[in-house]
Amino acid sequence: AQTVTQSQPEMSVQEAETVTLSCTYDTSESDYYLFWYKQPPSRQMILVIRQEAYKQQNATENRFSVNFQKAAKSFSLKISDSQLGDAAMYFCAYRNGRYYGGATNKLIFGTGTLLAVQP
């Protein structure tokens, strides 16, 4: 069974600084996707960034980038130039790549990291 681990329950960063959130996962699959989701106080889940396992290049989305280490099964999120609006709960998530339908394509979430941004 696949698992996702986030070892940092809480993190804090100064506005305009950079912070890295950690995530490790375990799977025996070779084809999968990894995601970072943001959940602000509104509790709406927002996709921050995604990574296809077959791609060696790390994904980037504006101030957000990942460090994907497939052999180490590590998938960290770096937030540059942190803004007050980045304060939220961040979830790392895994999904099987092969499409079998139904529950086989469910998202598996980590326990989350609560990020505080200090002005």
Partner 1 sequence: GAVVSQHPSWVICKSGTSVKIECRSLDFQATTMFWYRQFPKQSLMLMATSNEGSKATYEQGVEKDKFLINHASLTLSTLTVTSAHPEDSSFYICSANGLRGNTEAFFGQGTRLTVV
Residues near partner 1 (CB under 8 A): 33, 35, 42-45, 47, 50, 52, 89, 91, 95, 97, 99, 101-103, 105-107, 109-112, 114
Single out the residue of 11, 7, 9 nearest to residue 74, CA to CA: 7
* Closest distance to partner 1 from the beta carbon of 41 (Å): 11
**Residue (13 or 88) nearer to partner 1, CB:** 88
116: nearest Cα among 77, 76, 85, 78: 85
State CA 49 to chain mean position distance: 7
CA–CA dist 109, 119 (Å, integer): 29
Rank residues 78 and 95 by Cβ distance to partner 1 and give the closer one: 95
Two structure tokens written together for 68: 């994907």
Which residues are CB-neighbours of 3 under 8 A, at least 6 positions away?
25, 26, 108
The nearest distance, CB 73 to partner 1, in angstroms, is 19
Closest approach, Cβ 16 to partner 1, in A, equals: 26
Which one, 101 or 119, has the nearer CB to partner 1? Answer: 101
In the complex with partner 1, the residue whose CB is nearer, 17 or 54, is 54
